[in-house]
Structure 1
Amino acid sequence: MLAARLHGAHDLRVEEVADRALASGEARVRVAMGGICGSDLSYYNKGGVGDFSVREPLTLGHEVSGTVAELAADPLGLAEPGLAVGSRVAINPSRPCLHCQACRAGRSNLCRSMRFLGSAALMPHVQGAFSESVVVRADQCVPVPDSMTLTLAACAEPLAVALHAVRRAGELAGRHVLVAGCGPIGLLCLAAALFAGAASVHVTDLFEAPLRIARQMGALRTIDVRADPAALEQAAADRGGFDAAFEATGASASLVGMPALMRPGGRIVQLGMLPKGGVPLPANLLMAREIDLVGSFRFHEEFAIAVAALASGRIDIAPILSGTMPLRRADEAFRLAGDRQRAIKVHLDLA
């Protein structure tokens, strides 16, 4: 089968890879759509993401959907009821161990033995799903209704990331929220915060094009912090500070400046992947204003919630969908996805 394999920074090749037989409790899915994520772009541009570097050829991709082509025996009964050959599914890229302390506590996103599709965190790497088919554990397949496009189903993973971040933020109903960063995850945090009842959401970025999308998705105000750096401080002052903030840029300077924008007792959620090394935080300000700083990493039960919200239309993410390209044009698709002036979320058509 064909797959988009990264051999190093800017060295993405569509090439033949071997398939494998199913083990007990696994499913083979014919992949239909795959969304290019910020971590995929980091691997493509830098040869790594955060602390993880590519050390062997890596099939990228973890935001995927498709159709079940084969099912092995499932003696543990892990699969969703009704899952069968021919089922249309969104694929949860998380494959936790299910028996460690984190998994037993309902926080499997923190599983130390996690095998996450398209990740260089382990060696050998966990191969991803930008391929014509992928083998996953059956419980990673979440059925989607026939009324739901497989492009939309492939967006369940990034929406789940945003929904988990909103959960980490605490109660947002009636609150004033800041989202730093207008990439796919930042825009989905905007949608998720409004879904949770936020009274207002301010969104920042360095480019006007994604800020325009944020306004379409319901942002009360958008701020180009490069063109008007003082506007954000003024917006915070006008409200006496923000109740909650989502740092989705992964830029150290964004996080360092955020405590000064918060109300006393506010909460900052860090979900952007920061560069290697430490970040000099204004700890006295965090202490004196009792500002919570929490991390948000991937998701757990939010994946199924994301599928349901997208299927029902309760969360509309249509404005972020920027186009689709066939697998054989993967390199071109990655270059488009990395152009913040032209695209938010680009999908590969893998069918």
Structure 2
Amino acid sequence: MTEIPTTALGVVAHAAGDMRVEPVTIPAAGADDAIVEIAYGGVCGSDLHYWQHGAAGESILQAPMLLGHEVVGTVVRAAESGGPAAGTRVAVHPATPGTGDGSRYPADRANLSPGCTYLGSAARFPHTEGAFVRYAVLPKHMLRPLPEGLSLRDAALVEPASVAWHAASRAGDVAGKRVLVVGSGPIGALIVAVAHRAGAAEIVAVDMHDTPLEIATAVGATRVIRATDAEAIAAVDADVVFESSGNHRGLASAFRGATRGGRVVMVGLLPSGEQPALISLAITRELELVGSFRFTDEIDDVILALADGSLQVDAVVTHEYPVADALAAFETARDSATSGKVLLSFA
């Protein structure tokens, strides 16, 4: 049995502008918990927000919190109650659904459950600790065994690709359709890849910078447009638009680029509070506005699609850093002009 240390190096957000790579205590595992040796973790936009602003949307840091929810690794100690055996390579579904205050939600959409918690989230207090640490104690229900032939590094994109897959499912069937993706960061690029796999006839990617547009092209975009070219965006006339910039200007571009009667899937999380929007255009064009938040069981489809090679996402990862250099990794990830997905390695 692998000897588990009492502490390991982790990435902890203390407050706005205060992120530290420091030893964190490895908690005791409960009967339903496995201990996973983390191999890779992807830096997400929410991680960047906790570092830069001390908050992600309305989730505000009230105490130091271990970051990280895009993680893969190997089970080194199985849960006493079962689950994947020691030696099993796994991806991690970071959510734990919960009934919370009892507010209603669709039974088949656990991502909307009011008491849902997520690794590395300050939405509740005490915060839900993340998994940017060499040894993570995780409930067995989060673990998804990886097929033979799918490497841990290639599987490092499972979680964000599941977000993209869920967004595509919210769009409906995109086969044969013209798709517009506004915002070509890692999530936008993964949406392009998922739409390409789903048979979209045309995929137009929009961004401010060259590197994201080059990545989008590599994973399936048939055409790219600069975000500043409002006339070209309006001329796209897309059947389905994905807004993945998380910016009200991107949402305006999404409305303008949608065809009459088209569907706009809102994936990028805009800041909390009121936001300006071209609602009159949505009304007169009878646009269907659809929200997309995290994912449910799409993670299982993503794992299979990565394993069989039908979902091609290699170009999305642009940088890799050891966990000791996490500060440099986050600096790279915050520069969307020169990076895609940035990975931390924990080996």
Which residue, 71, 91, 112 being the options, matches 1:64? 71
Which residue, 250, 253, 259 being the options, matches 1:254? 250
Which residue of the partner structure matches residue 107 of structure 1?
A: 109
| Counterpart mapping for 1:1-351 below 5 A | 1-74=8-81, 79=83, 83-97=84-98, 105-226=107-228, 228-234=229-235, 236=236, 241-351=237-347
Contact persistence 1:97–1:103 (CA under 8 A): no
- Deviation string 1:163-211 (CA, Å, 9 cap, x unpaired) is 0000001121111010000100000000111111111110100011211
For 2:104 and 2:293, the matched residues in 1 are separated by 13
For 2:165 and 2:140, the matched residues in 1 are separated by 23
Task: For residue 39 of structure 1, report the CA deviation from its aligned partner.
Answer: 1.2
Contact persistence 2:95–2:142 (CA under 8 A): yes
- CA, structure 1 residues 32+98, in 2 after alignment: closer, same or farther (shift >3 Å)? farther
- Deviation string 1:129-182 (CA, Å, 9 cap, x unpaired) is 100111111121111134222112121000000000000011211110100001
Contact persistence 2:230–2:253 (CA under 8 A): no
The runs of 5 or more residues in structure 2 that have no matched partner are: 1-7
Amino acid at match of 2:113: C
For 1:232 and 1:87, the matched residues in 2 are separated by 46
Which residue of the partner structure matches residue 5 of structure 2?
A: none
Task: For residue 49 of structure 1, report the CA deviation from its aligned partner.
Answer: 1.1
The alignment's TM-score, normalised by the length of structure 2, stands at 0.93
Task: For residue 60 of structure 1, report the CA deviation from its aligned partner.
Answer: 0.7
Q: How many residues align?
A: 339
Contact persistence 1:95–1:114 (CA under 8 A): yes
Contact persistence 2:233–2:253 (CA under 8 A): no
For 1:330 and 1:39, the matched residues in 2 are separated by 15
For 2:172 and 2:246, the matched residues in 1 are separated by 21
Amino acid at match of 2:32: G
Contact persistence 1:98–1:108 (CA under 8 A): no
The runs of 5 or more residues in structure 1 that have no matched partner are: none
Contact persistence 2:95–2:119 (CA under 8 A): yes
The alignment's TM-score, normalised by the length of structure 1, stands at 0.92
- CA, structure 1 residues 269+253, in 2 after alignment: closer, same or farther (shift >3 Å)? same
For 2:14 and 2:27, the matched residues in 1 are separated by 21
Contact persistence 1:225–1:231 (CA under 8 A): no
Task: For residue 313 of structure 1, report the CA deviation from its aligned partner.
Answer: 1.1
For 2:230 and 2:283, the matched residues in 1 are separated by 26
Amino acid at match of 1:337: A
Amino acid at match of 2:19: L
For 1:112 and 1:12, the matched residues in 2 are separated by 29
- Deviation string 1:257-297 (CA, Å, 9 cap, x unpaired) is 43232222211010101012112333333233221101000
Task: Provide the secondary structure at the position in 1 that maps to 2:25.
Answer: coil
Task: Provide the secondary structure at the position in 1 that maps to 2:173.
Answer: coil
Contact persistence 1:191–1:315 (CA under 8 A): yes
Task: For residue 103 of structure 1, report the CA deviation from its aligned partner.
Answer: 7.9
Identity over aligned pairs, percent: 40
Could you say what the CA RMSD is over the residues aligned between the two structures, in angstroms?
Answer: 1.8
